[in-house]
Amino acid sequence: MMGREDWAGLASRLDIASGLFIEGQYVNARSGKTFDCLNPATDQIIAKVAQGDVADIDLAVASAQAALRDGRWRSLAPRTRASILLRLADLVEVHTQELALLETLDMGKPISDVLNIDIPEVVNTLRYFAECIDKIEGGVTATPVGTLHTITHEPLGVVGAITPWNYPLMMAVWKLAPALAAGNCVVLKPAEQAPLSCTRLAQLFVDAGGPPGVFNVVNGLGPEAGKALALHPDVAKLTFTGSTAVGKLLLGYAGQSNMKRVALETGGKSPQILMPDLYDLDAAVDRAVGGIFDNAGQVCNAGSRLLVHQSLHDEFVQRFIARAQQAYQTGDPLDPATTLGPMVSQTQRQNVQARIDQAISDGAKPVLGGLSPDTQGAGAYLQPCVFTGADNTMRIVREEVFGPVATVQAFETEEQALAMANDSDYGLAASVWTADLKTAHRMVGALQAGVVWVNCFGDGDMTQPFGGYKQSGNSRDKHKDSLLSYMQTKSAWFQLG
């Protein structure tokens, strides 16, 4: 088994691609500008990455449009496109160590998490949608004699994707795989905080046999490159995972330009409800801890609102704190033993610390963490934090923190728990812990969330649509229906007589 020194040695020998990827090759930004890509564990510069802007987005979209018009991708036989995506999945497996290192250095995620969670999910996603390609069926309706009516599915055209930094490669592939499987061409703008693995993936697509111009990557800042992609009149659909505030901006940009389709997966503030009849408190505690502290809480569906029946509250808090202290210790993300890496940046760490300080000022009681750490050392590290005594009027309960911060609130009745859970602008995910099937079924129906877990948290596979209600967005990733969302139907009526 490789240790920290082994991974550090591999990291020192990485050949990092820092250009934009347009028409099948790495290029500099037209302006010549770059931005610093920092390692959040050390605050050191990993690479100077080409900083694309409007001119580069125009070039990438033109490349994708040319590939769309000449049919180099969409006109390939379905199994040919499938074979390319399957080869891409194989190449991701071959390059697991390289891609894992890029994620860890760029974003601060523990190397063990990338190896055991992120990269396998990327591979599974590519293979799932590759196998969906030739399963898309149209229809022939019942018509009068002498006529024929067909319904077929076609790609939308050029898809613009803007993806987040918390799961850089995985979130990108959740969008790229169905978009490409549907026959579209793609321009990807990864988050500027962690773009390196996505840029490498584009080269692997070409290595797998993907035609140049079909998959382009423009690194850059959101207000420049991201906005330009959202406003571009030749982009047929924009798919986005990120903050609710930015999602609202993108809807406006679509209206200002060509009314492109906009698919949003935005913020979350997921409740985890522990009913008094749950069958195993320790199991619930274990999953609740992981639900908020995995990936340093930088998860859109993080279960940050722990709603616990009053009969279990004190015991739950005691066990939750003990489990969190045991399971999550900060350390070098290149050490396979590390379970809690840094926040993605010093800016993000400061934002989360400000939320913690505000919660204390509002009257919430920190029972784990909560104190401002020593900021003299390197790295954007932040210890897990748990609050009791919070209520639904406090910002710490109502607003997405996107960090390792949880609140524990007591409830007396099922109706009260549901009211507390649904009293939110968000509706991405939720969980219920109960031994009673009738209770579970009733609460699943009442919860305003796109994903509900019963006696677990975060489970699922590629058959599970992922997306939310309310201000958590309007789209679904994963699942075969995601593929159809990157297509449009064509109705053809033939007069045969």
Give the contacts of 480 (CB within 8 A, at least 6 positions apart). 132, 135, 463
List strands edge to edge, sheet with 271-274: 365-368, 385-388, 405-411, 305-309, 271-274, 429-433, 451-454
Residue 298 is which amino acid? Q
Contact 273, 433 (CB under 8 A): yes
**pLDDT of res. 372:** 59
| CATH 3.40.605.10 domain range(s) in the chain | 4-266+474-491
Q: What is the structure's pLDDT at 497?
A: 80
Q: Is the pLDDT of residue 374 over 70?
A: no
Q: Predicted confidence band at 47 (pLDDT cuts at 50, 70, 90)?
A: very high
Domain with CATH 3.40.309.10 in the chain: 271-462
pLDDT in the model for residue 1: 79
Q: What is the pLDDT, as a whole number, of residue 38?
A: 96
The residue among 405, 431, 409, 406 whose CA lies nearest residue 420 is 409
Is the Cβ–Cβ distance between 246 and 221 less than 8 Å? no
Over residues 247-275, the pLDDT tens digits come to 999 999 999 999 999 999 999 999 999 99
**232 in helix, strand or coil?**
coil
- CATH classification of 4-266+474-491 is 3.40.605.10, yes or no? yes
Q: What is the pLDDT of residues 103-155, one digit of tens each?
A: 999 999 999 999 999 999 999 999 999 999 999 999 999 999 999 999 999 99
- The residues that are catalytic are 265
CA dist 395 and 422 (Å) reads 16
Q: What Rg, from alpha-carbon coordinates, does the chain have?
A: 23
The mean pLDDT value of the chain amounts to 96
* Three-state helix/strand/coil letters over 112-143: HHHHHHHHHHHHHHHHHHHHHHHHCCCEECCC
**Distances, alpha carbon 137 to alpha carbons 76, 140, 376, 477, 484, in Å:** 17, 10, 60, 20, 10
- Asked if the model's pLDDT at residue 373 lies above 80, the reply is no
Residue 371 has pLDDT above 80, yes or no: no
DSSP 226: I
For 310-365, how does the pLDDT look when each residue is reduced to its tens digit (9 = 90+)? 999 999 999 999 999 999 989 999 999 999 999 999 999 999 999 999 999 999 99
> How does pLDDT run across 95-105, given as a tens digit for each residue?
999 999 999 99
Q: Could you give the maximum distance between any two Cα atoms of the chain, in Å?
A: 83
User: Do residues 295 and 303 lie in contact, with contact meaning Cβ atoms separated by under 8 Å?
Assistant: no
Alpha carbon 476 to its chain centroid, in Å, reads 11
The dihedral formed by the CA atoms of 351, 353, 357 and 362, expressed in degrees to the nearest 10: 60
Rounded CA-CA distance 415/275 in Å is 11
Q: Tokens 């913020």 sit at which residue? A: 267
- Mean pLDDT calculated for residue range 225-253: 98
Q: Does CATH place domain 271-462 in 3.50.50.60? A: no
Q: What is the pLDDT of residues 262-309, one digit of tens each?
A: 999 999 999 999 999 999 999 999 999 999 999 999 999 999 999 999
Quickly list H helices, 76-225.
78-94, 96-107, 111-113, 119-132, 168-181, 196-207
Extract the tokens encoding 159: 């898809």
